[in-house]
Structure 1
């Protein structure tokens, strides 16, 4: 997706956020999947623009927050607008389709039975439904590499835990409300846990620390406990 002519200006607006940041608000009438890809592309474009005053860029559901060092807001906003309106460059990133292996239930998905019961399903049918859907990374947040995934079938929606766990293992796959997600690191958490993936979503030692990026599409692939252990990540 590229901005084209004067219509580009209607796709976003820029507003200040305190004295060290500004926010690019995207047109919320745009299809949400396209909006997430556009936000990710805008963030990438700004990071690569060589702005000497830039501290950080944070894309989210329908915004891109630009953090800057001591600098004039009007000048920062003008620079951002100029870069984003430059139609010589593509703005939306190309989504990748990534498969995430998951060992569902049992020790690795302690809330699966309760989730299936609330949904009026067997555990097997709940897993089948969860693994059949295609998801999209709506945002990376909460902690390094945590993907908020859209695309959860409506019948699988679940409430958050009334009392969060003090420790959730890295790789845990959970559901909260209408979203599913994957914990990249061990942390306290309140999502309903239904499985575990052996993949490392965040590894600061890798050239690219994050396995997933905003806009990516993914599918969950059920694996056995033996498969999980053979990949060396089972607790």
Structure 2
């Protein structure tokens, strides 16, 4: 039995859905198909966008049709179960001290921990980048430890500073630049997560892994200055998908 469905999206895009949940197994299938379609070089396919549970394939309707593309994708899906792409494990510095973490005390009180325990628990987890979205470079990462899971804030902020480390539900993320936001802010990273002048744009990509490393205010300031001089890139290592 097919465990996916292909839907039309507007007049020049298809969406391939694999489920209705935020799930690592579903994410792996989405990313495996994204790799397969990229390598296949399907005529007319112009852009492939991965989400939590689906893949959007935009196409040029002057080159191909939705029906032809759907048949080609369905055929490729028969063998698209795992990804062989090498991804990266990133070491991301974060300052969890209260001046850089406006909501950490409130979060700690809500979950029955101290602020230091919240920071330790958050930094002690390796996260999976499910997708990039909301704004360019914004990484949706899971899975947050169950003890730290809270609903979004009742009073969203109109301005969240760049680098703010946030949590909500089962997710954690870092705001790449100033924007509105309704998640709980428990730290700040001095790292740049989006560079419009680089070929890649976003620092992280779907399928990458992230470990946050707690740093002092002094180290935070040192790294931020290095970032401003374009003299700092967070450490990363290759990992198998």
Measure, in 1, the Cα distance between the counterparts of 2:146 and 2:82: 34
In structure 1, the gaps of 5 or more residues are 1-8
TM-score, reference length from structure 1: 0.85
Residues 1:212 and 2:192 are matched in the alignment: no
CA shift at 1:15, angstroms?
A: 2.6
Task: Name which of structure 1's ranges 54-63 and 220-229 shifts more when overlaid on structure 2.
Answer: 54-63
Residues 1:166 and 2:158 are matched in the alignment: yes
Q: Check the 8 A contact 1:105/1:113 in 2, yes or no.
A: no
Measure, in 1, the Cα distance between the counterparts of 2:20 and 2:101: 35
State the partner residue of 2:40.
49
Task: Name which of structure 1's ranges 196-205 and 75-84 shifts more when overlaid on structure 2.
Answer: 75-84
- Aligned counterpart for 1:129 among listed residues 107, 118, 121: 121
State the partner residue of 2:183.
191
SS of structure 2 residue aligned to 1:200: coil
For 1:62-77, what aligned pairs fall within 5 Å after superposition? Answer: 62-70=53-61, 71-77=64-70
Aligned length: 225
State the partner residue of 1:4.
none
Measure, in 1, the Cα distance between the counterparts of 2:107 and 2:120: 13
SS of structure 1 residue aligned to 2:137: coil
| 1:77-134 Cα shifts (integer Å, max 9, x gaps) | 11222344457x9645344322111001322110111111111111111111111112
Task: Name which of structure 1's ranges 70-79 and 182-191 shifts more when overlaid on structure 2.
Answer: 70-79
Measure, in 2, the Cα distance between the counterparts of 1:136 and 1:55: 26
Task: Name which of structure 1's ranges 191-200 and 156-165 shifts more when overlaid on structure 2.
Answer: 156-165
Q: Check the 8 A contact 1:161/1:191 in 2, yes or no.
A: yes
In structure 2, the gaps of 5 or more residues are 229-241
| 1:202-223 Cα shifts (integer Å, max 9, x gaps) | 1122232222111222111100
- Aligned counterpart for 2:110 among listed residues 111, 114, 118: 118
TM-score, reference length from structure 2: 0.83
| Root mean square deviation, CA, Å | 2.5
Where has structure 1 moved over 6 Å in runs of 4 or more? none
Measure, in 1, the Cα distance between the counterparts of 2:24 and 2:153: 28
Q: Check the 8 A contact 2:97/2:217 in 1, yes or no.
A: no
State the partner residue of 1:3.
none
State the partner residue of 1:38.
29
SS of structure 2 residue aligned to 1:232: helix
State the partner residue of 1:106.
98
SS of structure 2 residue aligned to 1:128: helix
Measure, in 1, the Cα distance between the counterparts of 2:204 and 2:94: 16
